[in-house]
Structure 1
Amino acid sequence: MALRTEHEIHQRRRSRNVGLGLVLVCFVALVFALTVVKVQNGDTMEAYDHQPRVSVLPAEEAPAAAGETAEEASQ
């Protein structure tokens, strides 16, 4: 049985498939990288609202009462 040469359409199809495969691999790598970054930085985020959790933020000092100065409030 003799070996047949590959037809031109098969060569073109293979090159398109390789190109599309590379694009898909790059897309998957991008989604994976974004997921890793989001998981690493997401410990202070709520579920779906993407707002910082108040329970994790450092406590703020209460403002001094009206009419009091900072020295009077500390005494």
Structure 2
Amino acid sequence: MVMLPQVEHELHKRRRSRNLGLLVVLLSFVALVFGLSVVKITNGDMMEGYDHQPRASVLPRDPNPPAAQGGPVAAPGTPGAKAMGQSEGGGQ
């Protein structure tokens, strides 16, 4: 039995070239994201994400910090404040 060579239609050639172009675009996008990730990880200075929580490391330093009172202070109106003998009115 004689096998005839498969003749490739022009539509298949165009589709293959478009698929190869899409492959190049996708691979370059993956390489870009990978490169940016590597740069961000190797820099490593401020690797804190912003999740709407204040952090002491990103707040400016207070030039006149409050004087230490010798121990922790509970917020007024909390059970800890009552145990420490603070008044309910919010002041001492």
- Structure-1-length-normalised TM-score: 0.60
Shift of 1:4: 2.2
TM-align CA RMSD? 2.6
Distance, in Å, in 1 between the alignment partners of 2:42 and 2:16 is: 39
Matched, 1:41 2:52: no
Matched, 1:15 2:17: yes
Identical pairs, percent: 56
Q: Which structure 1 segments of 5+ residues have no match? A: 55-59, 64-75
Tell me the number of residue pairs that the alignment of Structure 1 and Structure 2 aligns.
56
Moved over 6 A (4+): none
- Structure-2-length-normalised TM-score: 0.50
More helix per residue: 1
Q: Deviations over 1:5-33 (max 9, x none)?
A: 10000000000010000000100000000
